[in-house]
Amino acid sequence: MSLVIVEVIVKSAEHGGSKLLAPVGMPTPHQMALHFSVEGGQFDLTGETTSGQMAALITPEGAGDDVKLVYHFADADGMYPESVFQPRESCFTRAADALVTDAQQIAEQAVDGHAAIAAIVAHTSEKFSYGHVDVRFNEGMDTVPHLGCGLTKGSCVDINTYLIASLRSAGLEAGYVTGYFFPQEKNGCCSDMHCWVVTRHNGVVLEWDIAHHKKMGKEDICCGLNPKPGSRVALAHSMGLAFPELGIFEEKLIAEPVVVSDEGTIRLHDLEIRMRLAGD
């Protein structure tokens, strides 16, 4: 059994002694989250009420101390939690009427559900070029808007937001998973989170990573993880999350640790994220 250890270091200059919120890991068909611990701080678990997930509320030991989150994952033949596939309405998942119509028309033209999923994935891919933008295509909107002609620049978060809204608009089971991806060429390091989509039809679960196909210049999108060579771990799932104990409602997603403030959460920008095999 292969045991993978992921360490995420939050520097003291980033957290300044403020509390942090972080996911604790989740099972997939490939891995099981075995253990979560914190060095340089204490944590309690807090509940996310829309999906039943738990997250860690971390209190740093001091404003001048770095905080290290340590995850242990093992290879496993498991499954995604059922709640991954359950729709939950928020401004990050609610599709505009035009997007609903578009997705339903694509699905109706497919020979079956599997073909409908593949067609919507391909259609979503055609809408985007890969890149990070200052203002997302759905920023400040109550619904996920329909994208017309031309290309919209977007990250994995943007592309998969559109894909999830499209799939669910067509009545297809789909889920949004967040975690870390460690590119093969970076030797166990990465700089931020990654996300991907899982679909389920007639009990068959498939995984999709349009963003990585885009980054590699591949337009023919195939199901399966790691079209770009590397390794990944899953930390949490779904969008529009709520942590009532913290006064947090409709949090877009949870992956990297974030600072908890009176106004909500604040993203960190200088994380150290490393992966290694146990014993290395």
Q: Is the pLDDT of residue 77 over 90?
A: no
Count the domains in the chain. Answer: 2
Q: Are residues 158 and 230 in the same domain?
A: yes
Q: Are residues 30 and 165 in the same domain?
A: no
Q: Are residues 75 and 124 in the same domain?
A: no
User: Could you count the other beta carbons within 10 Å of the beta carbon of residue 261?
Assistant: 11
Name residues whose C-beta falls within 8 Å of residue 260's C-beta, 6 or more positions apart in sequence.
18, 19, 20, 21, 57, 246, 248
**Percentage of the chain modeled with pLDDT above 90:** 92
pLDDT, mean of residues 67-91: 95
Q: Are residues 62 and 185 in the same domain?
A: no
What would the pLDDT profile of 210-263 be if each residue is shown by its tens digit?
999 999 998 899 999 998 999 999 999 999 999 999 999 999 999 999 999 988
Q: Are residues 63 and 162 in the same domain?
A: no
pLDDT at 280: 74
What would the pLDDT profile of 128-138 be if each residue is shown by its tens digit?
999 999 999 99
What would the pLDDT profile of 172-194 be if each residue is shown by its tens digit?
999 999 999 999 999 999 999 99
Encoded tokens for 140 = 């400040």
Q: Are residues 91 and 215 in the same domain?
A: yes
User: Could you count the other beta carbons within 10 Å of the beta carbon of residue 54?
Assistant: 15
Q: Are residues 21 and 52 in the same domain?
A: yes
Name residues whose C-beta falls within 8 Å of residue 217's C-beta, 6 or more positions apart in sequence.
none
Q: Are residues 98 and 225 in the same domain?
A: yes
Q: Are residues 110 and 15 in the same domain?
A: no
Q: Are residues 129 and 173 in the same domain?
A: yes
What would the pLDDT profile of 20-76 be if each residue is shown by its tens digit?
999 999 999 999 999 999 999 999 999 999 999 999 999 999 899 999 999 999 998
Domain extent at residue 37: 3-80+239-277
Q: Are residues 146 and 163 in the same domain?
A: yes
